[in-house]
Structure 1
Amino acid sequence: MCGIVGYIGNRDAQPILINGLKKLEYRGYDSAGIAVYENGVIDLKKTVGRLSNLEEQIEKSPLHGHLGIGHTRWATHGRPSDHNSHPHMDEKHQFAIVHNGIIENFQEIKEELINKGVTFISETDTEVIAHLLADLYDGDLVTTVQKAVAKMEGAYALGIINKYEPDKMVAVRLSSPLIVGLGENENFIASDIPALIEHTRDIYILNDGEMAVITKDKVELMTTKGEVIERTPFRVEWDIETAEKDGFDHYMLKEIYEQPRAYRETLQNRIDHENNKVDLSKEISLTPEEIRSLDKIHIVACGTAYHAGLVGKYVIENLVRVPVEVDVASEYRYRNPIITDKTLVMVISQSGETADTLAALREAQKRDAKVLAITNVNGSSVARDADEVLLTHAGPEIAVASTKAYTSQLIAIYLLGLYLAQIRGTQEDTVIANYLQAIKELPAQADKLLEFAPTMKQFAERYAHYEDLFFIGRSLDYAVSLEGSLKLKEISYVHSEAYPAGELKHGTLALITDGVPVIALATQEDIYDKMVSNIKEVKARDAYVLGIGLEGDQELAKSVDEVIAIPKTLPLLTPALSVIPLQLLAYYAALARGNDVDKPRNLAKSVTVE
């Protein structure tokens, strides 16, 4: 989950590395550091804490040179500290290395090196790599790296320089994301595109088991066994402004407000308006026969994407009439899932680099299942490895707390559900047309919901001091409650729980006391009366209830203290709207509590280790 950058060229490396790390700080901010080569010496600056701490240090004592690597850390092995910060070097400062991932056999390698007299100064697995390179060095950086990675087990994206060969940098990737940026008389490496976009739009995306040998004039791709790779660079179409805050105080708020546009982009070119059909035939190669033969679907994801998958279960089972199981990706491959050649496994990941989701994808393929990926990043590991890919078009999502990625995933799920229903003939043409008309109205309806920002701000400020808050809902509203609760927890640090409202009497009602805030979602018409009864149960225990209902609902106001009315839409589509007030609630609650909204404690944006 850490972020790495590297530069080689004719310009001063330090400002390029620092600016790149600023674009990657969402991947980790426990510590930061850079290493720059100059005049036969690799100079190192690193410090615990935010990148701003490193900038203060560098301002007093700048580093000069045209070759360098940088790192922003999310701690896995070893607590956040100066010593545990990256880059890491060997004892003689011959090699400097930055690493994203986990070396699973580091202890074994470390003991071997200690027996040879090596002294370690950190608690990290990464320092092992620097000492291993020094121990194996044969006068050639490339072959030395190849020998080192042959001894390593686990996941890694590596940027490596050494003082004896200052004309090159080596990058290696296994299971952790890494890209190479191509410039004029300069080249770059990074964990993610935003770090490079101001310098180049042409990149190589390294695959597992691949490495790049980078000079200022050339990039050579090869496997870690030395086999040469020929590949056409990938052209990035984002403009640089897309990755900036665009006048908003935080990336999260900007991304909440970008949702209507993300809806439109994800819908674009996927609806045959003339015939009122969904057309995914240019993206999904599953034949009608294969689609008709499906007897179950597994949806596998983590975190927010898992919550999108829970909505997907309701959507697909209702529209397609195929049983759907939803699994947390970190558990999926360990439960020995029952998969046949008639199972479709759907994996959902914003970044396309989520380690547990990738592992689940590969497990499903081992068992001969077809895998369909929903992801936001074209060229990501998930997108490359899946059999079928349905891209969301949310644009880059920088804030750790995911918002527009979640709702774009919902749009993709709606389209996929309708597409499968068309082919299997489980819904009448008029029903499909009705859904498509309602889906096309969602962007404008989402725009309208953003007008509730001041109301959610007021509610958040009144109740942000509470240490407990509860969400309740039934059916799809429960699925959305889980996402609303997660958003509140991860950035405001309020203890928040989401419960199926029908389960209150089975124990959880004991937690409701005088004045405790409860967010109650009541958008599902078929169980509306039961939900109102559940709301009355918490009101009878003196909870303060904010209701989320549909426009025109006059009854809900009689049972709650405040109401937010979302625009009326079809029941299956309400999650794409009802979640927006909950995102705003989490944002304003975090502000009211003085938290860093875009960089919540202990979390990073892209979970690229298990």
Structure 2
Amino acid sequence: MCGIIGIVSLKESKKLAEMTVSALKRLEYRGYDSVGVASVSSSGLEIRKAKGKVEEVVLHKKIEEMEGYVFLGHTRWATHGAPTDYNAHPHTDCNGNIAVVHNGTIKNYKELREELESLGHKFKSETDTEVIPHLIEEFMKRGMDPFQAFKSAIKSLDGSYAVLAVISGERRIFFAKRDNPLIIGLGEGQNFIASDIPAFLPYTKRILVIRDDELGFVTPETVYLEDKDGNVVNIKERIRIVDWDIETASKEGYPHFMIKEIHESPRAVKDTIDSLMSDIDLIEKVIEEIKNAERIIIIGAGTSYHAGLYFSIELNRLGINSIPLIASEYYNVKNKKGDLVFAISQSGETIDVLQGIRMMKNNGAKIVSLTNVIESAIARESDYKIYMRAGPEIGVAATKTFTTQLASILFILSILKKDNLKKIEKAPDIVRDTISQVEGLTKKIGEELAKKSNIYYLGRGLSLPLAMEGALKIKEIAYVHAEAYPAGESKHGPISLVEKGFPVVIINDGEMTELLQNNLMEMKARGARIYAISVNKKMKDADVGIELQSEIPALSIAPVIQLIAYYAAITKGYDPDKPRNLAKTVTVE
């Protein structure tokens, strides 16, 4: 996920540079690895870009001194290529006459790059985006006008994209969209196009939302738009007025980033699966390392530990010796050469994980990392780097990143088991369908649990890590004491606390329903109020039940437990985005 902004004006001035910088600051939550700006003026095309946050790059590169009548801006969340000056957007063609900014993932960029290089094109970055300006350049060489060349370039792409392109001498911005947001802002004597409404909200509230597979161009006074079949769209029927403040607009109408990010999970999972498909050679190398390792040590903290525990259970079931390890307890395992360490961290900076892998690497282990941040500290220490590509997560409590961790693990397991990948390709739809089905009932459950002082979350087998994550979520943001147990273990002590009305949440992924049913009845007999979240197999006698059908139970359960915690927090009047005493990235012991 990246932030993009385009401005095209009748007048050439430095003011457009200031407006672009202002827009990038409002988009920085979408990405903060690197920043770049392109301007088209009477003098031609100019690019200024560098690694770093908006404020420091703007100052260092003197971006506000740029002049022009067309501006593009980009703040990057790295997906292909490390966060560096040369990987920062905008990217250009061989002659520096075409500039492109892009949000998304081009799945066939390697093939396109090889073909373009065979035709003599020279590349300067490691990104997938750079193929786009070279494609435009190539089609223009073949006699196409700029818009025809742009359309032909877009037709060559396989993947997701929100693309903006400018060409020296042209007073228009070309655009195309598939799966990533793109909105036009209609002004007076100037028009805007961006990945989010906040980018241009101070200047106009008249917007036009671009739909998938639409493309066109924006001039200072007009918008030309074609649908996926090449038909011209009547934009007057699509213009609407927004009445949002900037903070609300950043959340796209959602009251909190957490609920926005839960609803972004289907998109995040799709990006994750697509990126893993494009990195299949890497995944196959990791599979070989798993097969050849004496032991697999899976290390993580908090939510990432729960994802790792899920992975460990699956590996042990396959007869692969696996140890799940809470990162802060890394010193309790003596590793050796022949071990493979699998490090899971959303930020890639978690200090306990970092210290653990350093110790184990010194003892001869190979390191595989699963992180969400390109070239983070943990990724840099690793022999194999797998990236989730869920995009930035603003809410402190992990939501879409946990779901994409599970999706990544399930993808790896599918390759390891030699399963048909058709099932894992359905993952985004499974997550989306779950959210649409359960939101009302999760709100009811969250409102009830918000009134409780203590809760048990119970699970067996693969549902146990999900029960642990459910308990963690409601503790983190609703401040309700919740404990997770293996359901069979609950009668060895914990059941002594159960009395009339005591809430028990049972997570049933359909594997061990009969055993979980016995545990339910044990709790029910002591007066517990039972909330059952069941996939594929129904549980009887629950007081409140969520029942789902899913080919991938874990990916259906994940958003359910997140939504319950969210609605419990807001029922109590807490801000779920900023839970007390917690930070997004833990970099101290």
Q: Distance in 1 between matches of 2:561 and 2:76?
A: 36
CA drift at 1:305: 0.4
Aligned residue in 1 for 2:296: 297
Instruction: List aligned pairs for 1:269-280, cutoff 5 A.
Output: 270-271=276-277, 280=280
Inter-CA distance 485–270: structure 2 relative to 1 (3 Å threshold): same
Shift in alpha-carbon separation, 1:24–1:444, aligned structure 2, 3 A: closer
String of CA shifts for 1:391-415, please: whole Å, max 9, x gaps.
Answer: 1121111110101111111111112
Partner of 1:346: 342
User: 1:412 maps to which residue?
Assistant: 408
Q: Which residue is 2:158 aligned to? A: none
Displacement of 1:307 in angstroms is 0.5
Normalised TM-score (structure 1):
0.58
Aligned mate of 1:531, from 499, 510, 516 = 516
Distance 1:593 1:366, change over 3 A: same
Q: 2:267 aligns with which of 261, 271, 283?
A: 261
* Aligned 1:25-424 pairs, distance under 5 A: 182-183=57-58, 186=61, 200-201=75-76, 241=195, 244-268=250-274, 270-271=276-277, 280-282=280-282, 285=285, 288=288, 290-319=289-318, 321-332=319-330, 334-335=331-332, 337-422=333-418
> For the structure 1 residues 473 and 16, does the alpha-carbon distance in structure 2 shift closer, same or farther, using more than 3 Å as the test?
same
Aligned match for 2:496, one of 510, 517, 521: 510
Q: Is the 8 A contact 1:300 1:327 kept in 2?
A: yes
| Matches of 2:254 and 2:336, distance apart in 1 | 48
- CA distance in 1 between counterparts of 2:488 and 2:513 reads 12
Q: Give the Cα separation in 1 of the matches to 2:499 and 2:336.
A: 49
> Which one of 392, 402, 422 corresponds to residue 437 of structure 1?
422
Deviations 1:483-536 (A, max 9, x none): 0010000000011111111012110001111112211112232x2211100000
Report if aligned partners of 2:30, 2:392 keep a CA contact under 8 Å in 1. Answer: no
Per-residue deviation, residues 426-454 of structure 1 (Å, max 9, x unmatched):
xxxxxx12xx3332222212111112111
- Alignment length (residue pairs): 394
TM-score (norm: length of structure 2): 0.60
* Aligned equivalents of 2:543, 2:508: Cα separation in 1: 14
Q: CA deviation at 1:264?
A: 1.4
Shift of 1:250: 0.9
Shift of 1:25: 14
Corresponding residue number in structure 1 for 2:95: none
Q: Secondary structure at the residue paired with 2:349?
A: coil
Partner of 2:209: none
Alignment-derived partner of residue 446 in structure 1: 431
1:475 is matched with 461
Shift of 1:340: 2.6
Residue 294 and residue 183 in structure 1: after superposition, are their counterparts in 2 closer, same or farther (change >3 A)?
Answer: same
Once the two structures are superposed, residues 323-371 of structure 1 have per-residue CA deviations (whole angstroms, 9 ceiling, x without a partner) of: 1101111110x22x23232211000011111111111121121111110
Higher relative contact order at CA 8 Å, sep ≥6: structure 1 or structure 2?
A: 1
Structure 1 pair 408–182 and aligned structure 2 pair: CA distance change class (3 A): same
Structure 1: gaps of 5 or more residues: 1-9, 28-176, 189-196, 207-231, 273-278, 423-431
Change (3 A) 1:292 1:541: closer
3-state SS of paired residue (1:268): helix
CA RMSD of aligned residues (A): 3.8
**Is 1:595 matched up with 2:574?**
yes
Q: Separation in 2 of the partners of 1:250 and 1:547?
A: 27
Structure 2 CA distance for partners of 1:21 and 1:259, relative to 1, 3 Å: closer
Judge conservation of contact 2:431–2:556 (CA < 8 Å) in 1: yes
Contact 1:472 1:499 in 2 (8 A): yes
Separation in 1, partners of 2:283, 2:311: 19
Indicate the residue corresponding to 1:103 in structure 2: none
The unaligned stretches of length 5 or more in structure 2 are 1-14, 33-51, 64-71, 85-123, 130-160, 163-193, 199-249
The answer (yes or no) to whether the contact 1:256–1:403 under 8 Å persists in 2 is yes
Identity %: 34
Q: 1:155-208: CA deviations, max 9, x gaps?
A: xxxxxxxxxxxxxxxxxxxxxx999954486379xxxxxxxx9775599959xx
Q: Is the 8 A contact 1:300 1:345 kept in 2?
A: yes
State the match for 1:563 in structure 2.
545
Q: C-alpha separation between the residues in 2 aligned to 1:500 and 1:550? A: 18
* Shift in alpha-carbon separation, 1:402–1:534, aligned structure 2, 3 A: same
